Structure 1
Amino acid sequence: SGKVVCAVGVLEYRATIPFVIRDGDRVLEIGCQAGLTAKLIKQSTSGRVVGSDVAPQSIEHAKRQGAGHDVEWAVLDGWDLHGIQALGPWDVIYMDISGISGRNCVQDGLALIFSYFRLLPELRTVVVKSRSLRDVSNRFVKLGQ
C-alpha cells in the first residue's frame, strides 16, 4: 500500500530524497518551478525523472537551468490525472503545488493524493509539501497491528 510523506518547507521537502528515492525509481515532480528538486532527485536514481509545472515559463526556466542533468520537463497540471497517467508509470510523485497548501485545502489535497494511488497501481510514495496536510496527519492514529 502507498505511503504519503508530508513535508513543511522546501528544505524538509528535499531532505526526504535519500529516505524515499531508490535507485531505478521513476519519479514525477509536480510543481517543479525552476527544477532544482527534480535535479536533486535525479542524483539519487538511475530511473526516469520528470519535472512538471502548470506554468510554461517555469518549465522553460527549468530547461535552461537543468541542461545536462538527464531530467525531462513537461507542462502539466497536478490535477490532470490522465496526463499524469499517460506520462508514467511512476514509483514516486513529489508534489509542491499551491492549491493544497492552505488550511481550507486539506480535503482537496487528500482527494488528489488518493486519486494518484487509485490511478497508478505501481505508485509507492507521494511526497507532498504542505503544512496543512502535515498538521492534520499528526492527528491520525493507527490502532492495533
Structure 2
Amino acid sequence: MAQDPGRRRRVGLLGYGRLGQALAARLLAEGPRQGLELAFVWNRDPRRLQSAVPPALRLSELSALGDRSPDLVVEVAHPQVIHDFGAQILSHADLLVRPWASPFPWGLLFLSPSSRVLFKPPGDPARSPSAPAYYPVLRPC
C-alpha cells in the first residue's frame, strides 16, 4: 500500500479484552505522535465498548469495516473471527494476527492484501540469518 508520508496510518482493532483495551488506550494516547490513528474497535459483545470506547470509534458490524478506511487491522479476538472475516478484512487492509490465533507454529503473522502472501516476521527463530527480512509462505485458504 502506498502511504502518504504526512498521513497517519489508520489502525482497527478486533477484540476488546485486556490486550485490546491496552492497545486502544495506547493508540488513543500516543498514536498521533507515532503517525497512527485508531480507526475503530470491534468486539463480539458490543456492550463491552459502551463505557470505554468513544461512539465514533465503535464498529458494530465487521462487514462495515471498509467504511472506516483502515490501513492495518490488528486481531486480538477469538481465532474464529479471522476464519470468518479474514478474506473480507484483507480486501480493505493489512492484517496482523496474534500468534495463538495462527495455524502456524512461528507466531505473529502479517497478511498483505496487495500481495496476498503471508509473511514471517524477521524475529522468527527458525529464520536463517541470511534469509530476507520477510519471505513468502503459502497463504491459508
Q: Percent identity?
A: 8
- The structure whose Rg is larger is 2
Q: Which residue of 1 aligns with 2:69?
A: 89
| Partner SS for 2:73 | strand
Instruction: Give the alignment's TM-score, normalised by structure 1.
Output: 0.51
Secondary structure, counterpart of 1:62 in structure 2: coil
CA root-mean-square deviation:
3.5
Output one character per residue of 1:23-64: Cα deviation in whole Å (capped at 9) or x when no partner. 71111111124632112123133553122223232102323x
| Alpha-carbon displacement from aligned partner over 1:99-131 (angstroms, at most 9, x marks no partner) | x1xxxx5xx73563232222x1xx2x3122241
The higher-RCO structure (CA 8 Å, 6+ apart) is 1
Structure 2 residues without counterparts, runs of 5 or longer: 108-119, 121-134
List 4+ stretches of structure 1 deviating above 3 A: 45-48, 140-143
* TM-score normalised by structure 2 residue count: 0.52
Distance 1:115 1:127, change over 3 A: same
Aligned counterparts of 1:129 and 1:114: Cα–Cα separation in 2: 16
Identify, as 1 or 2, the structure richer in helix: 1
Q: Distance in 2 between matches of 1:110 and 1:56?
A: 20
Structure 1, gaps ≥5 residues long: 2-21
> How many residues in Structure 1 have an aligned counterpart in Structure 2?
101
Partner SS state of residue 74, structure 2: strand
Deviation at residue 74 of structure 1 after TM alignment:
1.0
